[in-house]
Structure 1
């Protein structure tokens, strides 16, 4: 090992290799950000009780966004979902502050913000995503929900009629 990393050229080559691997991992992780992964609904899945938050399910779809006050990407995702929600009938957007609802955070396994759940008309979870989301990803998620049977496709997300879920 000393022969390879003992020289300045060896250390530089090692640093370049480390940067290449780190860049590749970052690229792979960032490509998944905002992509909603489908979830097959199960009978024992916990339901997101929107009535307890003073919010209602959309007749077509509901985007439930878990956010925090100090989260810059949360504001971007809220803008995307709010904008799209004004353009799509029957779709609602509910934003939940993780600091005010730690019980929901634990129950639904939210590990970072923003995390967005896509609920179908019955309120069942069809997908979830974490991280920034583009308008295209939001439109794709809603289109996938509209065109596919519950929980059978890879989704990407979208909304209507934003309600802040603050208790």
Structure 2
């Protein structure tokens, strides 16, 4: 009887820790490639053809991968659309992950929503898995866009 309680307690602690860790990092942007990872050091560059014909933004593009029954995807869509409206030269492009599996595999998208920040040249400069907060999107854009002159 006590062995079962110990196993249950350990399982609860592990599950709680994993949930808290996931919650902490969900929606955080990170750089696309780090120098200490030479095999990934070449950042991916996307074109309008990769984006199903959607044009890249003049300054940046917020690329969102979504799926049909993803509740956080709807919240992410609203966040990214509102940011694209207030930041000049930035566009939001949403792609259904299921219909773009080649691109999903190429970009190593593991879940939806996943948001990629592309600079004006279409180079992936940051990514976030999960629903990002508006402040995090603005901060990631701040590093990706050239200042207006």
What TM-score bracket applies, with the shorter chain setting the length?
0.7 to 0.9
CA distance in 1 between counterparts of 2:145 and 2:103 reads 27
Q: Check conservation: 2:44, 2:123, Cα contact below 8 A.
A: no
Q: 1:111 to 1:40 in 2, by over 3 A?
A: closer
**How many equivalent pairs are there?**
140
Q: TM-score, normalised by structure 2?
A: 0.82
Say which SS state the counterpart of residue 99 (structure 1) adopts. Answer: helix
Q: Aligned to 1:128, what secondary structure does the other structure show?
A: strand
Q: 2:47 aligns with which of 46, 49, 54?
A: 49
Unaligned stretches of 5+ in structure 1? 1-6, 148-167
C-alpha distance in structure 2 between counterparts of 1:34 and 1:86, whole Å: 20
For normalisation by structure 1, the TM-score amounts to 0.74
Alignment of 1:46-125 (within 5 A): 46-51=44-49, 53-125=52-124
Q: Deviations over 1:83-142 (max 9, x none)?
A: 111111011111111222222112212121111111112211101111111112212211
1:35 aligns with 2:28: yes
Alignment-derived partner of residue 17 in structure 1: 10
Please provide the CA RMSD for this pair: 2.2
| Structure 1 residue matching 2:54: 3-state secondary structure | coil
Unaligned runs of 5+ in 2: 35-39
**Higher CA-based Rg:** 1
| Aligned twin of 1:132 | 131
